[in-house]
Amino acid sequence: MTDLGGNPLPGVSLVYEPVVPGTVALSDVRATSDALGHVQARATPGNVNGQVKVRVRTADGGVAATFIINVNLIVGSLTKISGDQQTPAVVDTAFADPLTVQVNDTSGQPLPGTPVTFAVASGSATLGTTNAITNAQGQAGTTITAGDTAGSIVVTATVTSASGPVFVQFNLSSRLKGPQCTDGATFYNGASFKANWISPGSVVTIYCSGIADNVQGVVQPSLFGPLPYQIAGVTVTFGNTPAPLFNLVNIDGMESVTVEVPLEAAVGGDTVTIAANGGSTTVNANILEAAPGFFEWGDLGPDNRRMAVVLRPDGSVVTATNPILRGEIGRAFVTGLIAPAGLGTNALAPLDSDIEITSGVVTGINNAGVPTISVKYAHNLVGIWEVQFKVPDNAKAGLRDPFALAMITSSGKRVYTQPSVIAIK
């Protein structure tokens, strides 16, 4: 302490204090100036990395000085907390989650106050900040926005330690506006979920990213037809024919739309245009003449099969505790059969009559054919057929008997459903 002339001022009481409470412990404090005007204290940094500050001031704060102490603790670990491999963002929009890291010392305790440097190593993106300081929990982060070029993005987070730099790498990607679909991994039978197993009039589930960004869960206008041709701005067109839509789904980032393949779709192959969120994409679909699939329920059993949805004569569902009886007529529900001439896309069966397939359907239980009574277009449903069959009087009883169906094509080839099971007593 000196006066305006530079002369020592003894006997002046000063105050030592950390600028940020808790960052420095003070000891051996001699806060009253001696004959030379000197005061002193010992400062021991706490568990805080980077710069810490100690202020010395007069009681009224009119005169003050600040010491800066550079603390370089050894970083024990740098780990990613959030933001890595998250759902791709549309170009020029922000990612949903920030990029967050955790900095700990060698004993596994958080290191607050540690500088972290974020940098875009490759790809097109903008960071909210390139320099961050860890908080009291040892965490630091930055927001990130996709650039105007779609593709992979790599971001690094680096901490300088006494033992050298430590870094981690975030891997992300951005996509163009609108749906992003992959040829060969987009179309699945809506009953059996067999890949690329679709035909005119069948129910099909289409998986693409970017078709349900504004949806959480399931948007399902109605199970009964006629169906809408647009849900939440999403449309699907096979060739030039729009497809009726059953539902639009976004569960944990898995996006899909389920439709009826128009009966006008070209067997052998057709282009499919999926439009959503102001953009669209066109992919190729392999269209079969027939692609039968049982509707099923329940978990996979020990035989890796689910149980077919079958109704008993009283309308109850066949289960292990409610098996169909030998001699009874059951009703199974199938998609992907060859429709008779005159049936239209998004059609409903007339209330006072039935639309039937008169030949070409074979039903089997325990790997042997059983009588197929009728095949009718299911009332109030779209793209779904009701197959009535008789369980033979001498059928083997069992809770998981093999159950299958085949459609005979125009060339005489039998095309089978997925292997399923049925409970018989």
Average pLDDT of every residue of the chain: 92
Question: What tokens does 284 get?
Answer: 């190729």
Neighbour-count burial of 233, counting CB atoms closer than 10 A to its CB (0-12 exposed, 13-18 middle, 19+ buried): middle
In a domain, 195, yes or no: yes
Is-contact 11 39, C-beta < 8 A?
no
CB atoms within 10 A of CB 90: 21
The answer on pLDDT for 152 being more than 90 is: yes
What is the domain-level CATH number for residue 233? 2.60.40
How far apart are alpha carbons 54 and 69 in whole angstroms? 8
Please tell me whether residues 297 and 420 are part of one structural domain. Answer: yes
Question: What tokens does 103 get?
Answer: 């900095």
The answer on pLDDT for 266 being more than 70 is: yes
Residue 225 pLDDT: 65
What is the pLDDT confidence band of residue 223, given thresholds at 50, 70 and 90? low
Please tell me whether residues 350 and 307 are part of one structural domain. Answer: yes
Question: Which residue range forms the structural domain that includes residue 64?
Answer: 27-71
What is the pLDDT confidence band of residue 46, given thresholds at 50, 70 and 90? confident
How far apart are alpha carbons 73 and 48 in whole angstroms? 8
In a domain, 7, yes or no: no
Please tell me whether residues 317 and 415 are part of one structural domain. Answer: yes
How far apart are alpha carbons 380 and 249 in whole angstroms? 22
Amino acid at position 244, single letter: P
Could you tell me which of 179, 252, 247 has the C-alpha nearest to residue 209? Answer: 179
Is-contact 138 110, C-beta < 8 A?
yes
In a domain, 21, yes or no: no
Please tell me whether residues 58 and 95 are part of one structural domain. Answer: no
Which of 229, 253, 285 marks a domain boundary? 285
Helix, coil or strand: residue 332: strand
H/E stretch holding 139: strand 139-142
pLDDT above 70 covers a percentage of the chain that reads 98
Please tell me whether residues 38 and 102 are part of one structural domain. Answer: no
Residue 396 CA neighbour count, 13 Å, CB half: 12
Please tell me whether residues 413 and 322 are part of one structural domain. Answer: yes
Residue 161 pLDDT: 79
The answer on pLDDT for 224 being more than 70 is: no
Average pLDDT over residues 218-234: 86
DSSP structure class, residue 128: S
**Strand ranges in 147-276 using DSSP code E only, listed in sequence order:** 151-161, 164-175, 187-189, 203-207, 217-219, 235-238, 241-242, 245-251, 254-260, 270-276
Output Rg (C-alpha) for the chain, integer angstroms: 35
In a domain, 9, yes or no: no
In a domain, 325, yes or no: yes
In a domain, 227, yes or no: yes
Which of 267, 285, 303 marks a domain boundary? 285
Cis peptide before 226 (omega within 30 of 0): yes
Please give the tally of structural domains in the chain.
4
Express each pLDDT in 329-342 by its tens digit.
999 999 999 999 88
Please tell me whether residues 402 and 371 are part of one structural domain. Answer: yes
Show the DSSP H helices in 160-301 as ranges: none
Question: What tokens does 193 get?
Answer: 């979920």
Could you tell me which of 70, 82, 78 has the C-alpha nearest to residue 111? Answer: 78
Number of residues assigned to the chain: 425
Please tell me whether residues 80 and 64 are part of one structural domain. Answer: no
Please tell me whether residues 97 and 196 are part of one structural domain. Answer: no
Please tell me whether residues 312 and 409 are part of one structural domain. Answer: yes
Which of 175, 210, 245 marks a domain boundary? 175
The answer on pLDDT for 26 being more than 70 is: yes
Residue 106 pLDDT: 87
**CA 317 to chain centroid:** 33
Helix, coil or strand: residue 272: strand
Could you tell me which of 321, 370, 376, 316 has the C-alpha nearest to residue 343? Answer: 376
pTM of the model: 0.67
Question: What tokens does 2 get?
Answer: 């000196």
Please tell me whether residues 200 and 138 are part of one structural domain. Answer: no
Please tell me whether residues 236 and 319 are part of one structural domain. Answer: no
In a domain, 117, yes or no: yes
Residue 342 pLDDT: 86
Neighbour-count burial of 55, counting CB atoms closer than 10 A to its CB (0-12 exposed, 13-18 middle, 19+ buried): middle
